[in-house]
Amino acid sequence: MSHQINPISPIINSDELMEIRTNKNLVLVDARSGKNAKSDYAEKHLNGAKHVDLNLQLSHIKDAANGGRHPLPPINQFAKTLAELGISEESHVVVYDDTNGMNAAARFWWMLRSIGHEKVQVVNGGFQTAIKNGFPANDKEVTPNKTEPYTADRWLLPMATIDEVEAHSEKADFAVIDVRESYRYNGESEPIDPVAGHIPGAINVPLAKNLDENGLFRSPEDIRKLYQSILQNKNADRTIIHCGSGVTACHTILAMDYAGLEIPKLYVGSWSEWCRNDKEIVVEE
C-alpha cells in the first residue's frame, strides 16, 4: 500500500511531550469522555490541557438510525470548536484520553487529519502514562485563547456509507474490519446497542491488538505485519473500519497510519447505525 508520509508521527511519547510543553504553538487537549469526564478533568488534568467533549463537540447526536450514535458534526461547527479551543492552522495539537488513546483522542486526531491538519499527535498510553512518567498535572481551569474560525469546508479522509458497506462487505476483494471486543462481534451480548452480532463478512480485529501489555502502541513494524496479514494486499479504498459508533474505529486507523499504511475508510455510523436499519446480522453459534 502506498502512503503519503506525514511530517510528524501521529503518536507522541510522554517524554517527548515533556520536551515541547512550553512551545508557543502547542495546544494540549484532554479528550476524556464518559459521564464523569468533566469532573475528572476539573479534578486533575495535564498542565495547560483544554477539555473537548465527545458528545457535544466531536459529534452531532440526533437519530442513531441515521448516522449512528456519534455522527460527525457539521464541518463549520467543528471549525468553530477548534477556534474555541484556540487551535489554528499553525497549532501543534497533542491530544490524550484515559483509555490509551482508544476513544475520543483518536476520534479528535482523525477529525483534525480529515480537515487537513497534519501537526496533530496522540499521547502514547494516554493520561495515566503521562502522569506515571512525571508530566505535571493540576486542577486549574484553562481558558483558551480563541482564534479566528479554522478554514475547513469538507472532510478529506475517506469514509464509507451504510449502503457501501452493505454492497461490499461480503466481497472477497473488500475488507470490513470490526474493531469491537470479540464477545460483541460474536453476538454473545451487546452492552450499548439494541441488537448483538456483526455485519456479514466483517473481520473481527479488536482494537486492543494495536497495543502491548503496557497499554502502549506496538511497534510500527508489528502493527504493519498484523494488518498486512489481514488485508492481503487489499487497497485502502477497499478497506473499511468500523466499531460501535465510529469513535474507537479511529484508534485502528491511527495505528495503521502509525505503521505507515495508507489510511482506510471509516464507517462513521458503524454497528449502531447498521443494527437499527433492518440489515442482515450475523451471530456466531
250: annotated active-site residue: no
The set of residues, in sequence order, having a beta carbon less than 8 Å from that of 172 and lying 6+ positions away, is none
Q: From CA 106, how far away is CA 252, in angstroms rounded?
A: 9
Nearest to residue 126, comparing CAs of 234, 254, 239, 222?
Answer: 254
Q: Which residue has the cell 480485529?
A: 205
- Looking only at Cα atoms, what is the longest distance across the chain? 56
Q: Which of 243, 247, 253, 268 is catalytic?
A: 243
**Residue 73 C-beta-side C-alpha neighbours within 13 Å:** 22
CA 111, distance to chain mean position in Å, is: 8
The set of residues, in sequence order, having a beta carbon less than 8 Å from that of 198 and lying 6+ positions away, is 178, 184, 185, 186, 187, 204, 271, 281, 282, 283
Known catalytic residues?
A: 243
